[in-house]
């Protein structure tokens, strides 16, 4: 296959995306495929060999067979680039426009999962405009979540902009930090359970990996714990009961299908004994060979080059299937 690997992007996860894209490219080459790099600059320009790309509807992309958008965060993982790739009429790895947009919005995702009866920690969405106009009313509502709570931008990943609030006096600063990135913040009740993650791979009949447990060498699993050397440890399989492990896999697959995801996702949980709580579903998680998504599949015997190859194959199959329904 000839694969275009997209990296960079307009979000604050630009550098993380470049690392993911480099690993994907190397994995494809190791698997015997040809890969070309396309960088999306911080200002949104698409660049190939340092020159801007001209994109035209239905014209494909540089003659490639499939595109691997190793992009994280807004303007990459939220349906924007997926919509562009649909317009180009080129197969691409990962979820489509609707599922990408849904899962990037932590508040809407949790509302949908809650409506379907998925167990979750308590949460509230807070819009900056309302916080500025009615801070006392918002603070009173958030007090119902108890303390501590975690405050995050609603549309970012990689733990960017996350704060742990231990007392009422810290709430305003945490919300201000989140609003630097996003006009919508999510405030979540803390869980004392183990942080467990499960990788999902597939399309119409997805499969779940063995769950792994995250042990952060910090107070909580923040950006530094995720990306700095020695910041975290992944234990596979997770040190949870067999019944909880089965629940994690079942809920991961259920959330994947309910969200309409495709190709891949990393689904995050808190496990409190026998109680399993769904946290997030990431449609394009970190994708280096040492990232949790790939490491979980490696533990199940699926090597990185074969993983990226299978994702490209899924993209080709989905594209061919969906084209049969187009007018």
What CA–CA distance (Å, rounded) separates 306 from 21?
A: 16
For the CA atoms of 300, 303, 307, 313, what is the dihedral angle to 10 degrees?
Answer: -110
Our measurement of the distance from residue 290's CA atom to the centroid of its chain's CA atoms, rounded to an integer in Å, reads: 16
Determine whether 325 is an active site residue: no
Catalytic residue, chosen from 65, 89, 203, 227, is: 227
What tokens appear for 30 in the block?
């190791």
What CA–CA distance (Å, rounded) separates 177 from 222?
A: 14
Determine whether 124 is an active site residue: no
What tokens appear for 92 in the block?
């691409």
Catalytic residue, chosen from 221, 266, 279, 309, is: 266
Determine whether 266 is an active site residue: yes
Catalytic residue, chosen from 282, 304, 309, 318, is: 282
Determine whether 268 is an active site residue: yes
Catalytic residue, chosen from 7, 9, 12, 13, is: 13
Determine whether 286 is an active site residue: yes
Catalytic residue, chosen from 158, 191, 199, 291, is: 158
Phi-psi region of 141 (alpha: psi -120 to 50; beta: other; left: phi over 0): alpha
Burial class of 22 by CB neighbour count within 10 A (0 to 12, 13 to 18, 19+): middle
Among residues 308, 228, 296, 285, the alpha carbon closest in space to that of 13 is found at 285
Residue 286's CB is within 10 A of a number of other CB atoms, namely: 23
* Contact in structure between 244 and 276 (CB atoms under 8 Å): yes
Residue 192's CB is within 10 A of a number of other CB atoms, namely: 7
* Contact in structure between 21 and 70 (CB atoms under 8 Å): yes
Catalytic residue, chosen from 78, 268, 309, 310, is: 268
Burial class of 271 by CB neighbour count within 10 A (0 to 12, 13 to 18, 19+): buried
* Contact in structure between 164 and 150 (CB atoms under 8 Å): yes
User: At CA 70, angle to CA 68 and CA 76, rounded to 5?
Assistant: 105
Determine whether 293 is an active site residue: no
Residues acting as catalytic residues: 13, 158, 227, 266, 268, 280, 282, 286
């Amino acid at each position: 296959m000839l694969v275009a690997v997209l990296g960079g992007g307009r979000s604050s996860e630009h550098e993380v995306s470049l690392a993911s894209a480099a690993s994907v490219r190397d994995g494809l080459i190791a698997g015997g495929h040809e890969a070309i790099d396309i960088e999306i600059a911080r200002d949104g320009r698409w660049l190939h060999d340092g020159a801007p790309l001209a994109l035209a509807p239905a014209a494909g992309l540089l003659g490639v067979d499939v595109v691997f958008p190793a992009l994280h965060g807004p303007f990459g993982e939220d349906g924007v680039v997926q919509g562009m790739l649909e317009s180009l009429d080129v197969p691409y790895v990962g979820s489509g426009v609707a599922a990408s947009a849904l899962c990037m919005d932590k508040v809407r995702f949790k509302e949908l999962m809650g409506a379907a009866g998925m167990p979750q920690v308590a949460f509230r969405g807070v819009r900056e405009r309302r916080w500025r106009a009615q801070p006392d009313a918002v603070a009173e509502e958030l007090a119902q979540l108890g303390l501590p709570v975690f405050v995050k931008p609603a549309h970012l990943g990689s733990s960017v902009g996350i704060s742990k609030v231990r007392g009422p006096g810290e709430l305003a600063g945490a919300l201000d930090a989140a609003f630097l990135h996003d006009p919508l913040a999510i405030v979540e009740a803390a869980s004392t359970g183990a942080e467990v993650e499960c990788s999902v791979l597939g399309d119409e009949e997805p499969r779940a990996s063995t769950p792994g447990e995250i042990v952060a060498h910090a107070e909580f699993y923040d950006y530094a714990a995720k990306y700095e050397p020695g910041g975290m440890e992944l234990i596979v399989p997770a040190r949870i009961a067999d019944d909880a492990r089965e629940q994690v896999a079942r809920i991961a697959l259920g959330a994947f299908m309910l969200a309409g995801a495709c190709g891949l996702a990393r689904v995050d949980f808190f496990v409190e004994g026998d109680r399993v709580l769904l946290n997030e579903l990431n449609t394009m998680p970190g994708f280096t060979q040492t990232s949790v998504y790939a490491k979980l599949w490696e533990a199940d015997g699926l090597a990185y080059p074969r993983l990226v190859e299978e994702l490209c194959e899924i993209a080709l199959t989905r594209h061919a299937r969906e084209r049969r329904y187009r007018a």
